[in-house]
Chains A and B, each alone.
Chain A
Amino acid sequence: MAVFYLLLVLSAVLISSLLLTYAVIARLRQKRETPGTKSILIVAGSGGHTKEILTLTEKLGGQCSSRHYVVAASDSISIKKIHSSERILSARNISGSKSEYGIYTVPRSREVKQSWMTTLFTTLYATLYSLRLVFQIKPEIILCNGPGTCVPLCYAGLLLKMFGIADTKIVYVESICRVETLSLSAKLLYPFADSLLVQWPDLVEKYPKCRYIGRVV
């Protein structure tokens, strides 16, 4: 029994130290390899959310030279829209040859009409998947604007920051639809977001942590 415990402890310590080393190396390498280039994770929700966020990213300058888009699985319309938006960006050729982008999918937490019992498991799976994606990309900025998919991704970003692997900043741009109240995702991210932008000045009075810098879409 004692041997079993010892093995357990040893393996745990080994894995933890490996991880820590990896974290440090990843951090150092990131700093050395890419001076001046920033990676940004853009969460494109669906329908109107995608449209709004692409309006913002189309105006991005050279500061975010690698752009990672996340869409919900089975959302082919958004993928098409991202490709055409990227064509506009490359036509402007803002950051020369270094500019790159990728599109990734995450599973949905809950399909329409799915039962609540199985939702528990699919949500867990989606959360783990999001965690993995964010830890692999290690973005400097997570930009999102609404749908539920962005919440686990942002929490993963928070963990990334906590572990000291990357200095991730969470930027949430509230949809223009929200005039009187914040959306549920925004409320969930309210304590953690580094920057929470709203489109209507009235919201700032209600939620003082939000910022109104003018209507952006």
Chain B
Amino acid sequence: MTGKCAFVTVGTTEFDQLIQSATSSDVCKALRQLGYTQLLLQIGRGQFEPEATELSDHSPAVHFYRFKDSIADDIKAANLVICHAGAGSVLETLGAGKAAVVVINDQLMDNHQVELARQLQRLGHLYYCTCRTLHKTLEEADFTSLQPFTPGTPTLFTSHLDSLLTGPPGTGATLVFLFHLSWIGMLAVLYMLTPTVALLLLLTVSCLAVFVFWGEPKKVQ
């Protein structure tokens, strides 16, 4: 049986509230009414484990797992992706051309990820909501009106980098000269006031510099 599939992902973090909300009877009912027969959840590090259930009249079949190396296949197989507001998950979903509902974690302090979700909703690429309003959003949203999202163009960046590399040097020699002049001057003044401190300072800085230059950096395999 191949019906429509909804995929819930929380990324590398935990977001129990989303899993609880997505498997609640309200949301299951809403999904079933929209014609979904499969509900797959990626629950990450969360404490809460949903119950795996079979397909019924008021609920899609529920399955879940914690982590996979790549969730790209699951996103591709899904018709609707409900995800946390992490930029990675959001962009991966939009890049795959899937309808997305982004659920904001309002328990996180200073959650700047809301900015992205809000902006993308304003541009008509997705819908965003909180855990409490998830079922309402699913019922009311018009997924056919979503605009396709064109991925960014990294080549713009590489050509910018090229122009930077071939362009003029970042800081002029004057700045470097002034810098050296100023620290030598300050050291001289300090030497006149308290020679001991000045010399100790010079010694410390020298030791620091030796430490800084010594050896080769250690690579990780």
Q: Chain A: residues with CB nearer than 8 A to chain B?
A: 5, 8-9, 11-12, 15-16, 19, 22, 38, 47-48, 51-52, 55-56, 58-61, 63-64, 71, 77, 79, 102-105, 128, 131-133, 135-137, 140-141, 143, 161-164, 167-169, 171, 173, 175-181, 183, 194-195, 197, 199-200, 213-217
A-side contacts of B165, CB under 8 Å: 38, 63, 140-141, 169
Query: Contact check: which of A60, A178, A180, A194 meets B158 at CB < 8 Å?
Result: A60
**Measured CA separation A11–B153 after assembly (Å):** 54
Residues of B within 8 A of A167 (CB): 169-171
Chain A residues contacting B175 (CB-CB under 8 Å) are 162
By a beta-carbon cutoff of 8 Å, the part of chain B in contact with chain A is: 11-12, 86-88, 91, 112-113, 115-116, 118-119, 151-158, 160-162, 164-165, 169-171, 173, 175-176, 179, 195, 199-200, 202-203, 206-213, 215-220
A128→B207 CA distance, assembly (Å): 12
B170: A residues at CB distance < 8 A: 161, 167-169, 194
CB < 8 Å: which of B86, B91, B179 contacts A162?
B179
Q: How far is the CA of A60 from the CA of B156 in the complex (A)?
A: 11
Docked complex Cα distance between A173 and B158 (Å): 12
Nearest chain B residue, comparing its CB with the CB of A22: B213
Residue contact B91 to A217, C-beta cutoff 8 Å: yes
In the complex, the chain A residue whose C-beta lies closest to that of B162 is A63
In angstroms, Cα B207 to Cα A177, docked, is 42
Going nearest first, the 4 A-B pairs with the smallest beta carbon separation are: A15-B206, A215-B152, A59-B154, A179-B115
A199 touches B206 (CB 8 A): no
Contact A135 B212 (CB under 8 A): yes
Choose among B119, B156, B199 the residue that contacts A12 (Cβ–Cβ < 8 A).
B199
